[in-house]
Amino acid sequence: MSVRTARAVRLVIRTFSELCVTVGTVIVLFVVHVLFWTGIEADRAMKGEIDRLQEQWSAAPATDAKPAEGDDGAPVPAQRPYEDGEPFAVMHIPRFGSGWAKPVLEGTATGTLKKGLGHYARTARLGERGNFAVAGHRRTYGDPFKDVPELRPGDAVVLNDGTTWFTYRVDRKPYRTLPNDTAVIDPVPDKGPYRGPGRYLTLTTCEPEWGHSHRLIVWAHLDSTRPVDQGKPDALRS
C-alpha cells in the first residue's frame, strides 16, 4: 500500500469515527431530552396549572345553592363552561401514591397534553350522565399515566373541580385496543362493562409503554360526590 493510499484510508477511518461520535452524542442528548427534560417541563407546567386552579377557586364567591338533579335523581353540581386548553379540575388516583395529582384540561391537543391530562371535548362533563373521558401520556411529559396497568377493580379515581369531590370506582382491569377504536369513549362505552346509561369515567393512554400502536382503556362509574367544604372523600384519607 502506498503512503498516499494509507493516508487516505486513515482519513476515511478518522472521519467515520468522528461521525459516529457525533451521531452517538446527538442520540444521547435526544434520549436525555425525552426521558428527563420533557418530564421536568411537564411537572413544572402541571404544577402551574394546579396553582392557577387553586387561585381561581380561592377567589370564587361561596354559594349556598343546592345542586340540580339529573333525570336519574342524582345530584349534578353546577359547573362553569370548559374552555379549550384551560384547566377545570384536578385528578387524584390513590393507587399511584398519596402525592399523585394532575390537572385536567379541556381538549386533547398535543400542547394541552404537555400540561396535564386532557378531557375529550365531545364526551360528558365531570359528574354528568354519560362518559367523562380523559387522555394522558403513558411516557414523556411527566409520565402521568405510566402506572395505568396497575389499576384494579374497586380503585378510586377522585376529581375536584373546586366545589365538589367526584369519586369514581374502577370496574375492570385495563382493556387493550387499537387507536381507532373510538367507541370506547361513547356515552355507554362499547366493549365496556356497562349495558345502559350511567355516569361513567374513561381513562385512555398509549400501549405499549414506549409505543403507540395500541391504547389502554380504564372504565369506572361515579360512586359518590361530596362538597369540598365537607372535607376530602374517604378515598383520599387513607
Q: Which residues are tagged catalytic?
A: 137, 206, 215
Q: Which of 123, 129, 133 minimizes the C-alpha distance to 76?
A: 129
CA 28 → CA 32, 42, 52, 134, 212, distances in Å? Answer: 6, 20, 35, 33, 22
φ, ψ of residue 130 to 5 degrees: the values are 125, -155
